[in-house]
Amino acid sequence: MIRYEEYKKIDLPWLNEIPAHWDVYRNKQIFTEMKDEVGKNSSNYILLSLTLNGVIPRDVKSGKGKFPASFDKYKIVEKDNLAFCLFDMDETPRTVGLAKCSGMLTGAYTIMKVSNINPRYAYYYYLSLDNVKGMRPLYTGLRKTINVGTFLGIKMPVPTEEEQEQIVRFLDWQLSRINSIIKIKRKEIELLQEKRQQIIDAKVLTSSRTKVTRAAEGGWNVNIPEGWDILKFNGVFSFGKGLNITKANLEEEGIPVISYGQVHSKNNPGTKIDDSLIRFVNESYLETSPNSLVYPGDFIFADTSEDFEGVGNCVFVDREGPLFAGYHTVIARPKDGNGNRYLSYLFKSSTWRYQLRKNVNGVKVFSITQKVLKNAYVFLPPLDEQREIVEFLDEHCEGIDSLITDIAKEIDLLKAYEMRLISDVSTGKVDVRSVEIPDFITVEEDIEEESDGETEDEFDSEEV
């Protein structure tokens, strides 16, 4: 792609030039804040959510996320309005969304009616800034907030109406192509993960020394090899709690921490720490919350899950150095002080997790309490068999994990290209006016795979 022939200067912290023939508007010439609330008529409106895929109807039946006691303060949203989250902007995965239908959205968000410009162009432009958190120079306060008045005073580049249409159609086309490829690659990862799970389930409770089995305790239908120990979970582990923090306490650098969202991440193999799981908190927690530190051999369990399949998800700590368990986590520490990689595979097995799943409480969110963990049973083969099983599973799973990692890197590269493309086209760094765009099928971003358990707006407007 080529650049425009001529550019002119624009005085913005994140943009210093635009095509010479583009206009410059202030946001107040484009956006009108919409403050109307649903009041007692909430039943007449579709509940919406700001996600990585824009403002879309929320899947209430899934039970995921939190809900307020009342929707009276929720704001009315019309199709093609833009919703902005102008607080906690670094911590919020997506701070701008285009409404694909009318409905209601938490009153914490700023709702804007769009005039004098293509709403999808405005969305792509602010999405390009959100992708790199480009509006940082405008943040104020600990909550990293942008005042609505300040936002409305910001300048914005405005192409001709014809160019806006071409930019939007070009980006819709290119993003659909990228999303199609990503969907295929994520399916490949899903199939590899299923294969990995089948290998673990088939091996982790199988002895190569004896075929004689006996019924396990605990009132559930499973047999284990003769000679293996059956111990209560609380006989093997002591318990601790993760940091009492929220996402707002996370920082760009500091002491590593793994919280609920990372435990439930698609990138968590369960048997080791993947670097992508690491977040950071301030060093001050080393003094104020040393009991939330974890050590090699510990397990970090998520204490809640938004779906049944996530019950029992945990991280095995396999590295030295300071590391905290974060919010919504339970620490399980081996009483003998020895790390046990066999247990990291056992805790991945469907058979072992059945114990937890039959005892968890909840409807929309399942609670995995210390009591549920304490009442579970742990199966321990003799040490030589543990080593044999671990060696077998390492050999067969590491190759699969390597393939998954390679595919995940390919997806990251595609996502990075997508972000660059949105930025370059929406800000006029490249000229797409002469690009011939074919007919195409729109393919949306697969937000479920990216959510990491943290993308839904899980707060009431009263909290802000």
What is the β-pairing status of strands 255-258 and 324-325? parallel
Torsion of CA 202, 208, 209, 215, to 10 degrees: 0
Do 88 and 110 touch, CB atoms closer than 8 A? no
Whole-model pTM: value is 0.82
Do 304 and 458 touch, CB atoms closer than 8 A? no
Cα–Cα distance, 4 to 18 (Å, whole number): 9
Cα–Cα distance, 14 to 16 (Å, whole number): 7
The pLDDT of residue 219 is: 54
Name which residue leads in pLDDT, 262 or 453.
262
- The conformation of residue 2, written as its DSSP 8-state character, comes to B
The confidence band for 225, taking pLDDT boundaries of 50, 70 and 90, is: confident
Cα–Cα distance, 46 to 76 (Å, whole number): 10
> What does the pLDDT look like over 245-266, one tens digit per residue?
988 899 889 999 999 999 999 8
The pLDDT of residue 214 is: 65
> What does the pLDDT look like over 180-193, one tens digit per residue?
999 999 999 999 99
Domains recognised in the chain with CATH numbers: 7-182+410-463 (3.90.220.20), 208-380 (3.90.220.20)
Q: Return the bridge partners of 379, or none.
A: 230
75 in helix, strand or coil?
strand
How many CB atoms are located within 10 Å of the residue 5 CB?
A: 9
Torsion of CA 64, 66, 70, 72, to 10 degrees: -80
Instruction: Taking residues 42-53, report their average pLDDT.
Output: 92
Query: Which of 246-255, 295-304, 441-450 has the highest average model confidence (pLDDT)?
Result: 295-304
The residue type of 234 is N
DSSP string, 244-266: ---GGG-BSSSEEEE-HHHHT-T
> What does the pLDDT look like over 95-138, one tens digit per residue?
999 999 999 999 999 999 999 999 999 999 999 999 999 999 99
Does the structure show a pLDDT above 70 at 80? yes
Does the structure show a pLDDT above 50 at 61? yes
Angle of helix 350-357 versus helix 161-203 axis, rounded to 10: 100
Query: Which of 46-55, 161-170, 435-444 has the highest average model confidence (pLDDT)?
Result: 161-170
Where do we find the tokens 């899980």? 458
Cα–Cα distance, 301 to 311 (Å, whole number): 9
Structure tokens at 450: 């990216």
71 in helix, strand or coil?
coil
The confidence band for 63, taking pLDDT boundaries of 50, 70 and 90, is: low
> What does the pLDDT look like over 371-400, one tens digit per residue?
999 989 998 999 999 999 999 999 999 999
Summary mean pLDDT of the chain: 90
How much of the chain is in helix, strand and coil states, percent to nearest 5? 35, 20, 40
Does the structure show a pLDDT above 70 at 357? yes
